Amino acid sequence: MTEQRNPIWDPNGSPRAPWDVRRPQPAIQALVEAGGFSGRVLDVGCGYGENALCIAASGLHVTGYDLDREALDWAKDRADERGLRDRTRFLRFDARRLINLAGDTPYETVLDSLVFHSYKTPARRARHVAGLGTVLAPGGRLHVLCYSDQHVGPPDPPHTVSLAAIREAFADGWTVDEVRETTSISNLAPDGVASWLVTCSRSTGSTGSSRSIPYREES
Ligand SMILES: C[S@@+](CC[C@H](N)C(=O)[O-])C[C@H]1O[C@@H](n2cnc3c(N)ncnc32)[C@H](O)[C@@H]1O
């Protein structure tokens, strides 16, 4: 029954990483279709590149950063196969060094799909978010897909994030425009993993602010 609901589930196990689902995250695909991406796009921790390729297929130029050479090579090969090489760059870059890119070409949209939640302490999340802010153009948007503490296992995902942690991470210098409850797909979770899809922008003004987070159910 669960296999019908999630055909990527292989009950015999798979050598693939849990996130190597060979298709974009449905929440990201829906965001692309809703016009949530614009301008130059950076996909931080792009993995096997399916989200980046989905965004590129909509006509945008996308750069993907990751540390995993095998995943980057896979993404480049898929870009070639799909005729997307001209609109994609997949580069080995450590997201922990984003903060050093200040002054480099900023991106109008930045995507963090399933990376933010792996930073387990407020200080590490704050540093990661500061790096994301460094590469976001003024007026740009940041989308973060992360596992939610509302998920009910088994299986229990290795990382989850609460709304309070999201508020805290984006309290300084950001406006949280929206948080949606959604589901991420994973090779380890046949029913998916309850997740948050957060959209933020840099606050104007010197002190920054965050406002109350509206809930919107995904249709
Ligand atoms: C859970 S996977 C998500 C992959 C992809 N964003 C997706 O949604 O399918 C996390 C990815 O972040 C990458 N990653 C983790 N730490 C990183 C870092 N410091 N710099 C760049 N990539 C990193 C991993 O190699 C992995 O590909």
pLDDT of residue 212: 36
State the total domains in the chain. Answer: 1
Query: Of 31, 32, 66, which is best to mutate to test ligand 1, by the most ligand atoms within 8 angstroms of its C-beta?
Result: 66
Q: Which atom of ligand 1 is nearest to the CA of 28?
A: 8
Q: Does the pLDDT of residue 107 top 60, yes or no?
A: yes
Is 148 inside any structural domain? Answer: yes
pLDDT of residue 203: 87
Is 179 inside any structural domain? Answer: yes
178: Cβ contacts below 8 Å, ≥ 6 apart: 197, 198, 199, 213, 214, 216
pLDDT of residue 15: 75
pLDDT of residue 63: 97
Runs of H (alpha helix) within 22-177: 26-33, 50-57, 69-81, 122-134, 163-169
CATH (domain of 100): 3.40.50.150
pLDDT of residue 7: 37
pLDDT of residue 13: 52
Domain assignment of residue 213, given as a range: 94-217
Q: Does the pLDDT of residue 217 top 50, yes or no?
A: no
Q: Does the pLDDT of residue 211 top 60, yes or no?
A: no
CA pair distance 169, 125, nearest whole angstrom = 6
List the residue whose alpha carbon is closest to atom 8 of ligand 1. 113
pLDDT of residue 130: 95
Classify residue 146 by burial, with Cβ atoms within 10 Å: 0-12, 13-18, 19+.
Answer: buried
Q: ∠ CA(28), CA(54), CA(96), 5° rounding?
A: 65
Q: Does the pLDDT of residue 5 top 70, yes or no?
A: no
pLDDT digits (tens, 9 = 90+) for 167-203: 999 999 999 999 999 999 999 898 999 999 999 999 8
Ligand 1 midpoint to CA 95 (Å): 9
List the residue whose alpha carbon is closest to atom 1 of ligand 1. 114
Is 123 inside any structural domain? Answer: yes
CA pair distance 31, 27, nearest whole angstrom = 6
pLDDT digits (tens, 9 = 90+) for 32-71: 999 999 999 999 999 999 999 999 999 999 999 999 999 9
Q: Is the Cα torsion angle 202, 48, 24, 55 positive or negative in sign?
A: positive
> What mean pLDDT value characterizes the chain?
88
pLDDT band at 140 (very low <50, low <70, confident <90, very high): very high
Tell me the pairing of strands 62-66 and 88-92.
parallel
pLDDT digits (tens, 9 = 90+) for 20-32: 999 999 999 999 9
3-state secondary structure at position 195: strand
Specify the residue for token string 């909509």: 58
Is 138 inside any structural domain? Answer: yes
| Residue 71: alpha-carbon gap to chain centroid | 16
Is 31 inside any structural domain? Answer: no
**Mean pLDDT over residues 98-114, rounded?**
89
Q: Is the Cα torsion angle 214, 99, 34, 114 positive or negative in sign?
A: negative
Q: Does the pLDDT of residue 205 top 90, yes or no?
A: no
Is 127 inside any structural domain? Answer: yes
pLDDT of residue 190: 87
Is 199 inside any structural domain? Answer: yes
Is 168 inside any structural domain? Answer: yes
Query: Of 19, 42, 185, 196, which is best to mutate to test ligand 1, by the most ligand atoms within 8 angstroms of its C-beta?
Result: 19
Pocket of ligand 1 from Cβ distances under 6 Å = 19, 25, 45-47, 51, 65-68, 71, 94-96, 113-115
pLDDT of residue 14: 52
